[in-house]
Amino acid sequence: MNKIPPVTGNSLPAEKKKKISHSDDFKTMMDQKTSPPKTENKISTGPEKAELPPEARSALAETPDVRADKVESIKKQIADGTYKIDARDVAGAMLRKGFKP
């Protein structure tokens, strides 16, 4: 049976071992590894802002602001006393929208 030699110390070759002797060396090393590339972000709010394609604009113009059928259905349920609100749905919506009392 072959004997496995014991593992001792670090098995990296000496040239691959890098020792940090001073905090300045560490800072330099970290600065080189973590500095993000410099980019310029632009936000435009003027007349050059993006516009909707004509198809989207026409679809938006044809869509009513209020869904009359939904409103009428809810009004009828309220009048009949059959409109039920799920407290969990209301609480979840409040939490998602960041409700602050």
Q: What is the pLDDT of residues 43-86, one digit of tens each?
A: 666 666 677 888 888 888 888 888 899 999 999 999 999 999 99
pTM over 0.75: no
Contacts of 60 (CB under 8 A, 6+ apart): 52
- Which amino acid is present at 9? G
pLDDT-derived band at 20 (thresholds 50, 70, 90) equals very low
Higher-confidence position of 91 and 12? 91
- CA neighbor of 9 nearest in space, from 17, 1, 53, 21: 17
Q: Report the b/e string of 17-55 with b at 16+ CB within 10 A.
A: eeeeeeeeeeeeeeeeeeeeeeeeeeeeeeeeeeeeeee
Q: Is the pLDDT of residue 93 over 70?
A: yes
